[in-house]
Structure 1
Amino acid sequence: MIEAVIAWILLLAVAAYACGGGTDYGAGFWDLVAGGADRGSAPRRLIDHAMAPVWEVNNVWLIFVLVLMWTGFPELFRIVFSAMWLPLALAVVGLVLRGAGFALRKPTRRLAGRRVYGAAFAISSVLTPFFLGAAVGGVATGKVGTGTTASADAWSNPTSVIAGLLAVASSAFLGAVFLTGDARRLGEDALVAYFRRRALLSLAVLAVLALVGLRVTRDDASHVHYGLTHGTGLVLVAVAAGCAVATALLLLRDATTWSRVTALGSVALVVAAWGIAQRPYLVPTSLTVAEGAGSSATLRWLLVVTLVAVVLVGPALVFLYWLDTHGKLQPLTDAELADEPS
């Protein structure tokens, strides 16, 4: 049925945002914990260099997710944004502050101003994925539904907290893996070792949080827990774990290109496992995919628009990511800008 197809597209879009946006959030996380102005100057310089070409593009996936929810599953959109408007509003504020901080930090000449903008960018890079993850965790518990009013219980329960922490940790993992590759490409051996250690550390934290999450969801989100520990969901979780282990081994062997692929695979597979674990529900166990879907005409047009976007926008995004990961998008220096003809 067409609503099932749209639901799969929505899940793929969420996975794409978790990977693309998560990598950017992870870079901000490492910016936050890089240390003072002297100690953190080299990591922050690499972070600025790596993020500059693509950080805005990754928000395309978030917009696409919202459009799919709003038009394809309006009841899901209404439930989520009614019951959890506060964490989602905080995430939006974080997105705005993060973008402004990153855009204004580099051109600002005064050290005090750079610190303020840098702090806004870095702190928001942690808070935004946490609140988005907490909202996802709230949905997984099934504590929201038709008629549910805004309540802290909907997004501050144990599953929501663990989901938020997992979102931050997975972002840190992806960010460190990609920054390791950027450092290798630029010949910064010291930064290769620096970010490789952080990638392995964040992977260890992820493993611990995943084990805690399995214990927490057993009672707090039983439907999703069952889906993650049985059948297809369990297979995907196992493959994701294998990709994570492969990432660690590849990083130790300096195979930074393939480590990016396996790192993205591990995160995308976990998102896919979560989606499959919720079947057949959008909100366990009160709203099924069929019940939450919009009209058939709307879904058909949404499918057409999605196909058009894949054909027109997809190749451009793939090409942009290829250019960025192959070092073809180098920002202009001040000296180069000064040489530009007026």
Structure 2
Amino acid sequence: MTATVVAWVLLLAVAAYACGGGVDYGAGFWDLLAGGADRGRRPRWLIDHAMAPVWEVNNVWLIFIVVLMWTGFPVFFQTVFTALWLPLALAAVGMVLRGAGFALRKPTHRLAERRIYGAMFAVSSLLTPFFLGTVIGAVASGRAAPGTTASTDVWAHTTSVMAGLITVAATAFLGAVFLTVDARRFEAHDLVGYFRLRSWIAAAVLLVLGAIGLTVTDPHASHVHHGLTHGAGLALVIAAAVALAVTAWLVAGPAAGWARYSSVAVVALLVAAWGFAQRPYLVPTSLTVQQGAGASATMQWMIIVAVVALVFIGPALVVLYRLDTHGVLQPVPEEDGAE
């Protein structure tokens, strides 16, 4: 029972990182496609100001995920980090380069250096979620089974590539929706329509990729495919599609601020659908939650740690996100916000 509870806590942490970190990765994705220095100046200005107060905070969820895996499910941790060390290493390098690029491009005055740091940030914002998505696909496919040696066959296949593409599309969707709302908040009226259009494009791409992912999957992913097309998994997928349509409608109206919540619901529901489809396995169909769990005393302590984190860290993060979305943390100079 305790192992099941910790497994659900792990899934919640993954959903939190997918939503919080996904917004930042998505902003970087649109930074990559913003165009040259002149054409992309305004979108990149908004991206910088929207991300600056909270972009580092989302790594808290990633650390929590690693700790839960390492301590609560050591066999699962060993399996994933042994069989999938390459995409994980590429994602980690991308996180480092992304953070360095974002931190260094603003205070740098030389145009050539700004372009280098900007490229590091933007390209890493695309590659990092892609490789993280391929890891999810490899786990869902069952190819990353205990004892599997590292090779490209484990993660470079249909299910993993589709999972990587869906992850990128989801982050692009989140980023565009949040930037649409931020454009209104910063009174950057010329950017409202700019990012609203990109929200609709990303939503359409996510819907198409999701449909393809449900029909074109690796034979090894039959367990998860069945879970996503039946029962609770299918209900959650349908709910995510409804939330996607609601978000597309909200960003066009006066209540666009609510689109942030519905867009987060889309990604959270997709992660939940994956979790329900994969149960009772950590790695279908070779490692169940109970088989991969650590000692019972350890699992009990993990539940205590999760409760402490929920009580002390959760409210602090909620307040931080709320202050940021209400423009309290970083006032925008009038000259920067001018159209």
Q: Paired residue for 1:278?
A: 278
Instruction: Report how far residue 254 of structure 1 moved.
Output: 3.6
Give the match's secondary structure for 2:282.
Answer: strand
Q: Which runs of 5+ in 2 are unaligned?
A: none
Once residues 315 and 260 of structure 2 are traced to their aligned partners in structure 1, the CA distance between those partners, rounded to angstroms, is: 20
8 Å Cα contact 1:170/1:206 also seen in 2: yes
Q: Paired residue for 2:100?
A: 100
Once residues 272 and 15 of structure 2 are traced to their aligned partners in structure 1, the CA distance between those partners, rounded to angstroms, is: 7
Question: What letter matches 1:175 in structure 2?
Answer: G
Q: Paired residue for 2:268?
A: 268
Question: What letter matches 2:242 in structure 1?
Answer: G
8 Å Cα contact 2:184/2:192 also seen in 1: yes
Once residues 146 and 262 of structure 1 are traced to their aligned partners in structure 2, the CA distance between those partners, rounded to angstroms, is: 37
CA distances 1:46-88 after superposition (whole Å, capped 9, x unpaired):
0000000000001110110111000011111000000010000
Please tell me the root mean square deviation across aligned C-alpha atoms, in Å: 1.3
Question: What letter matches 2:46 in structure 1?
Answer: L
8 Å Cα contact 2:143/2:220 also seen in 1: no
Q: Which runs of 5+ in 1 are unaligned?
A: 336-342
Residues 186-335 of structure 1: pairs in structure 2 closer than 5 A: 186-217=186-217, 219-330=219-330
8 Å Cα contact 1:217/1:224 also seen in 2: no
Give the match's secondary structure for 1:146.
Answer: coil
Q: Paired residue for 1:67?
A: 67
Instruction: Report how far residue 252 of structure 1 moved.
Output: 1.6
Q: Paired residue for 1:338?
A: none
Once residues 94 and 219 of structure 2 are traced to their aligned partners in structure 1, the CA distance between those partners, rounded to angstroms, is: 31
Instruction: Report how far residue 255 of structure 1 moved.
Output: 2.0
Q: Paired residue for 1:339?
A: none
Residues 80-159 of structure 1: pairs in structure 2 closer than 5 A: 80-159=80-159
Instruction: Report how far residue 219 of structure 1 moved.
Output: 3.0
Once residues 254 and 139 of structure 2 are traced to their aligned partners in structure 1, the CA distance between those partners, rounded to angstroms, is: 39
* Percent identity of paired positions between Structure 1 and Structure 2: 67
Q: Paired residue for 1:16?
A: 16
CA distances 1:151-195 after superposition (whole Å, capped 9, x unpaired):
101110100000000010000000000000000111111100000
Select between 211-220 and 102-111 the one with higher mean Cα deviation: 211-220
Once residues 63 and 29 of structure 2 are traced to their aligned partners in structure 1, the CA distance between those partners, rounded to angstroms, is: 22
Once residues 115 and 224 of structure 1 are traced to their aligned partners in structure 2, the CA distance between those partners, rounded to angstroms, is: 42
Once residues 146 and 330 of structure 1 are traced to their aligned partners in structure 2, the CA distance between those partners, rounded to angstroms, is: 47
Once residues 311 and 84 of structure 1 are traced to their aligned partners in structure 2, the CA distance between those partners, rounded to angstroms, is: 33
Q: Paired residue for 2:41?
A: 41
Question: What letter matches 1:93 in structure 2?
Answer: V
Once residues 240 and 189 of structure 1 are traced to their aligned partners in structure 2, the CA distance between those partners, rounded to angstroms, is: 29
Give the match's secondary structure for 2:330.
Answer: coil
8 Å Cα contact 1:142/1:286 also seen in 2: yes
8 Å Cα contact 1:243/1:266 also seen in 2: yes
8 Å Cα contact 1:25/1:126 also seen in 2: yes
8 Å Cα contact 2:141/2:218 also seen in 1: no
| Aligned residues between the structures | 335
Give the match's secondary structure for 1:221.
Answer: helix
Instruction: Report how far residue 211 of structure 1 moved.
Output: 1.0
CA distances 1:14-48 after superposition (whole Å, capped 9, x unpaired):
00000000000000000000000000000000000
Question: What letter matches 1:129 in structure 2?
Answer: P
With the length of structure 1 as denominator, give the TM-score of the two structures: 0.96
Summarize the Cα distance change of 1:262–1:50 in structure 2 as closer, same or farther, 3 Å threshold.
same
